[in-house]
Chains A and B, each alone.
Chain A
Amino acid sequence: MSPSGGTPTDLRPYRPRISTWWWTRKRSYIVFVLRELSSVFIAWFVVFLVLLVYAIGQSEAAYRTFLDWASSPWVIALNVLSLVFVLLHTVTWFALTPQAMEVRIDDWKVPGFHILAGQYTGLVVVSLFVLWLVTL
């Protein structure tokens, strides 16, 4: 309450500024920023896959050129880095899923680890299918 005669505009509040480096203040903020950054590497993998499919569609020579380019050290380094971020992306988002969706069967709330187990099972199944596809 303001004293008689005073109004809230007399408060002259102090407004702290947020530093550009706010996300370095806490470990959980850093993990969050890394998780957001991982989307860039997801996008890179999509681009890489599109380039691969495009090269295959062109000709055998184009495919050979693509493979030579893909085995150059900097592309391998970039892809290894991307893989690390994609794994981070997968693990962190899987871990958040039970919080984002509540599954209820009648009055029974499905526990979070069931949802997690479903996701990892799906990941393994899809990975095995892709492995079978490329080694066919």
Chain B
Amino acid sequence: MTSSTADTIRLRVSRYRPETDSAPHFDEYDVPLRKEWTVLDGLNHVKNEVDTTLSFRWSCRMGICGSCGMTVDGEPKLTCGTFLSDYAPGPVTVEPLANFPVARDLVVDITDFLQKLPRVSPWIIRPDEHRNVEPEVEYLQTPGQLDVYRQFSMCINCMLCYSACPVYGLDPEFIGPAAIALAERYDLDSRDHGTSQRIDVLGAHDGVWACTFVGECTKVCPKHVDPASAIQRYKLKTALHTVKAFLLPRGAR
């Protein structure tokens, strides 16, 4: 291994092998510094040319699949959209996403999120039937109705928001930013009638009220979803729901 030069940049990569290691350590690799190379390209170079034992997740390389989230110099990032040249002359520290158990090297275990997500029923719920939508019926929507929820539908489940959220780090029961943003996405959909179901889940102690509005989820979101906004708006919604349930007869709610 040579030292970093103008044409190369050093990656400090967190390594954890569960068979042998009790805690992660750093390995260093020098990779070519090219204008168009991302951190993910650097990691793939290491995997292909230097050390085949390095483990990390990736798929699309274009910010759509949400697989390649990692901590780059302390910030949660999609590594496919994070350019090495922005960190020159380096070194660049690459660690797994914070707040999740580390399965191996840069791979985290997101089972917790996968179990939480279906609890908020992130699909269109119709009032009249058990089926979600009639396949042969068109449910029309105006551009204005689409605009109401569109930003929340951009979530790619990349987990950067969970990684940035100190509340989730300290209290893993918290249902978390992406799940609540997706609940809001369906609540705001003019075709959906599932709000009352979701409010029961999100109004609980591990729901929206666990959030203290740190706002980091929104800052790190690569798709500009603004989960912090979704959570605060959901707080208002659950509060109004509680007041209405207290004041109004059942039929008027």
Interface residues of chain A, those whose CB is within 8 Å of chain B, are: 8, 11-16, 18, 22-23, 25-26, 28-29, 32, 36, 96, 99-102, 104, 106-107, 109
Contacts and interface: CB of A to CB of B under 8 A. Distances in A.
Contacts of B232: 96, 99-101
A13 B101 contact: yes
Contact of B219 (A12, A13, A22, A28): A28
A15 to B, nearest CB: 5
Nearest to A104: B148
Given A11-B109, A29-B166, A106 B144 contact: yes
Contacts of B88: none
Across the A-B interface, give the 5 residue pairs with the lowest CB-CB distance, nearest first.
A107-B144, A100-B232, A13-B101, A12-B18, A14-B102
Contacts of B213: 96, 100
A96 B212 CA distance: 12
28 contacts: A11-B18, A11-B104, A12-B18, A14-B16, A14-B18, A14-B24, A14-B102, A15-B101, A18-B166, A18-B169, A22-B166, A22-B170, A23-B166, A28-B216, A29-B166, A29-B216, A32-B212, A32-B214, A96-B232, A99-B226, A99-B232, A100-B229, A100-B233, A101-B232, A101-B236, A106-B144, A107-B144, A109-B147
Secondary structure of the B contact surface, majority rule:
mixed
Given A11-B18, A18-B99, A28-B214, 8 more contacts: A12-B18, A13-B109, A14-B101, A26-B74, A29-B216, A36-B212, A96-B232, A99-B218
Contacts of B68: none
B40 interface: no
Contacts, number: 72
Contacts of B142: 107
Contacts of B111: 8
Contact of A28 (B212, B215, B226): B215
Given A22-B169, A99-B226, A104-B148, A29 B214 contact: yes
A107 to B, nearest CB: 3
B175 interface: no
B245 interface: no
Interface of B: 16, 18-19, 21, 23-24, 74, 98-99, 101-104, 109, 111, 142-144, 147-148, 166, 169-170, 212-216, 218-219, 226, 228-229, 232-233, 235-236
B184 to A, nearest CB: 10
A15 B218 CA distance: 25
B18 A16 contact: no
Contacts of A29: 166, 214, 216
Nearest to A14: B102
Contacts of B103: 11, 13
Contact of B18 (A13, A36, A99, A109): A13
B235 to A, nearest CB: 8
Nearest to A28: B216
B57 to A, nearest CB: 12
Nearest to B218: A99
